[in-house]
Amino acid sequence: MQWRALVLGLVLLRLGLHGVLWLVFGLGPSMGFYQRFPLSFGFQRLRAPDGPESPALGPAGRPGPPGGPSGPSWLQPPVSGAAAAAGRRRAPRRPEPGVCGPAHWGYVLGGRGRDRDEYEKRYSGAFPPQLRAQMRDLARGMFVFGYDNYMAHAFPQDELNPIHCRGRGPDRGDPSNLNINDVLGNYSLTLVDALDTLAIMGNSSEFQKAVKLVIDTVSFDKDSTVQVFEATIRVLGSLLSAHRIITDSKQPFGDMTIKDYDNELLHMAHDLAVRLLPAFENTKTGIPYPRVNLKTGVPPDSNNETCTAGAGSLLVEFGILSRLLGDSTFEWVARRAVKALWNLRSNDTGLLGNVVNIQTGRWVGKQSGLGAGLDSFYEYLLKSYILFGEKEDLEMFNAAYRSIQNYLRRGREACNEGEGDPPLYVNVNMFSGQLMNTWIDSLQAFFPGLQVLIGDVEDAICLHAFYYAIWKRYGALPERYNWQLQAPDVLFYPLRPELVESTYLLYQATKNPFYLHVGMDILQSLEKYTKVKCGYATLHHVIDKSKEDRMESFFLSETCKYLYLLFDEENPVHKSGTKYMFTTEGHIVSVDKHLRESPWKEFFSEDGGQDQEGKSVHRPKSPELKVINSSSNCNRVPDERRYSLPLKSIYMRQIDQMVGLI
């Protein structure tokens, strides 16, 4: 009996060892943490609707080894180094310019079990001229309704409360209410921010009236503590844009001239910028303080921490001002901040974090992504090059874009081909490139538009489809969406323009009527869910559609503007022969070779203008006010025949040729 017991024990031991190997080495059920989530969003797990189940995925969405992790490919680390770079350079095949194919649209847009021909018919068919004109008029009517109600019920306060039909200014009772006080400076923000939208829509009489109101009633000599970034992009940028429109000798939008105009808007822009300059003083890194008081300077209790986008997205407006005035000061301080941030990037990944200490240069927020805290930093590296032609801006952007592709981009390489999930850009640790969370925010929807500008249209098409699918699900973009849990993390929608902007630019690049249908969906959603008695209100909750009593100024300066331009094919922006670029707040800027002439380049060296302690040293004196007027400028979007060319070829050949430099 003992030998039988021994044999039985050996058999059981062998079976036990096989069981352990079976579990540990993937010969049985996976013991990995991640299981494949049904990522539907209307995406049906983000795979082809009529294709087979995807196998377990390795890095960058490629098939992994048997028994490997079975989570979504977005959860997997990307391929690094030369292999990733080589993969990104391969241009994916597409069925036609501007669309990922009918099967792709069918399942991306929520078509569980629906005929793919339905989506082909609806989204890739013609968009009749009569319908386009109807949508153009609807977009203009949306702007007029919001603007007229602001002027009737809120002016001269900063914003309109559209539900209760009254104005809103800074929250004097609660200085810590940064959501309000960072933006509202008691300077008629909504009126100032909307100036160039009036011109683009051809309303010369209201534009002239609004400009005179701004000149006569707006002052920056206020005891208001505002965020430097918001004051720059919303107010300074709008003043400069309107000034350029007024002084443009060609007047493409109609007669926007102002009788006896004496560069008042440019003087106002100068006054505001001077009041923002204290933010750049007494900072050891050259990175500015996040807030200033317009009357007294940096508050004594000011925070030493700022976000990368807020500190590094001032160069376009400050640079235009410097080159119009002939005063290097403003461009110099903004450029020094960009370089300081750039020099703090990770040596391993080339990525930047989202929050930094302006005195120590240490990263407080180590998240690297494309949304809040970083978005416009990348945008302005490119747009600064387009405007000013400084090659170091292009070099920084190209390096940043390579790091983004290598570490933030997850999923398969092609939009509509291959195994795994479609491409998505995730949030990672700036030093390791490891995934930090599983959400994206609505600000990231700007990135497809930026990709259009650099010619990476294939990737832009696919990423845009991701955000549009979320919009289709809720009739709005939640502020933050968790792609793993398939649910919003932050539920409000403050009428943001980023998806509309990318839709407009993709249409300009591809001329595919799909994007007109997208714009129509967005217009109809805004009319249905956000229109109230006296304007358009923030959605507090994208699911139950409850509202907040606030209409932010960017709704008129950006959201309505991009919707209008999407449907107004004959607009002078498209037909006048003058090419334009938009700032991060949607303000239109004509670019000419005069803006690319920098007589003070030597002052942009690392050791010029301030010492290492951030104390002011000699700068060139401001000459008498000089105004540069010209209409020739570079193209907003790449030629659709070129959008598979390498980045440098797109920039150097197209942009430089457009401004007549070569």
**Nearest partner of 587 among 289, 376, 333, 372, judged by Cα:** 376
Looking at residue 591, the DSSP 8-state letter turns out to be -
Query: What is the model's pLDDT at position 213?
Result: 98
**What token pair was written down for 525?**
């959603």
Q: In the chain, which residues have pLDDT < 50?
A: 20-70, 81-116, 606-662
Catalytic annotation, pick one of 479, 549, 552, 568: 479
What stretch of H or E contains 276? Answer: helix 264-276
Q: What is the 3-state secondary structure (H, E, C) of 125-187?
A: CCCCHHHHHHHHHHHHHHHHHHHHHHHHHCCCCCEEECCCCEEECCCCCCCCCHHHHCCCCCC
Q: CA 128: distance to chain centroid?
A: 30
Q: CA 25: distance to chain centroid?
A: 44
Angle in degrees, CA 323, 329, 331, rounded to 5: 55
- Using DSSP, state whether 244 is helix, strand or coil: helix
Active site residue 120: no
Query: Could you give the CA distance from residue 514 to residue 415 in angstroms, rounded to a whole number?
Result: 16
**What token pair was written down for 206?**
């209201």
Rg (CA), the chain: 26
Active site residue 375: yes
Query: What is the model's pLDDT at position 232?
Result: 98
Dihedral angle sign, alpha carbons of residues 366, 368, 371, 373: positive
The per-residue pLDDT for range 10-60, each reduced to its tens digit, is 556 665 655 544 444 433 333 222 222 222 333 333 333 333 333 333 333
CA distances from 158 to 225, 550, 553 (A): 14, 11, 8
Q: How many CB atoms lie within 10 A of CB 357?
A: 16
Catalytic annotation, pick one of 498, 501, 549, 552: 498
**Nearest partner of 72 among 92, 47, 49, judged by Cα:** 47
Q: How many CB atoms lie within 10 A of CB 298?
A: 20
DSSP line for 178-213: HHHHTT--SS-HHHHHTHHHHHHTT-HHHHHHHHHH
Active site residue 613: no
Query: Could you give the CA distance from residue 81 to residue 430 in angstroms, rounded to a whole number?
Result: 16
Q: Which residues contact 550 (CB under 8 A, 6 or more apart)?
A: 159, 161, 162, 168, 494, 537, 538
**Nearest partner of 364 among 406, 308, 316, judged by Cα:** 308
Query: Could you give the CA distance from residue 240 to residue 196 in angstroms, rounded to a whole number?
Result: 10
Active site residue 230: yes
The per-residue pLDDT for range 388-423, each reduced to its tens digit, is 999 999 999 999 999 999 999 999 888 877 888 889
Angle in degrees, CA 492, 494, 497, rounded to 5: 125
Helix-helix angle 315-325:329-342, to 10 degrees: 150
**Nearest partner of 515 among 116, 98, 84, judged by Cα:** 98
Angle in degrees, CA 98, 570, 658, rounded to 5: 70
For the chain, first and last CA: distance in Å? 97
The per-residue pLDDT for range 183-200, each reduced to its tens digit, is 999 999 999 999 999 999
**Nearest partner of 103 among 90, 117, 93, judged by Cα:** 117
DSSP line for 492-525: -B----HHHHHHHHHHHHH--THHHHHHHHHHHH
Catalytic annotation, pick one of 158, 375, 393, 558: 375
Residue type, 37: F
Query: What is the model's pLDDT at position 393?
Result: 96
The answer to whether 224 touches 186, Cβ cutoff 8 Å, is yes
Residues in the chain: 662
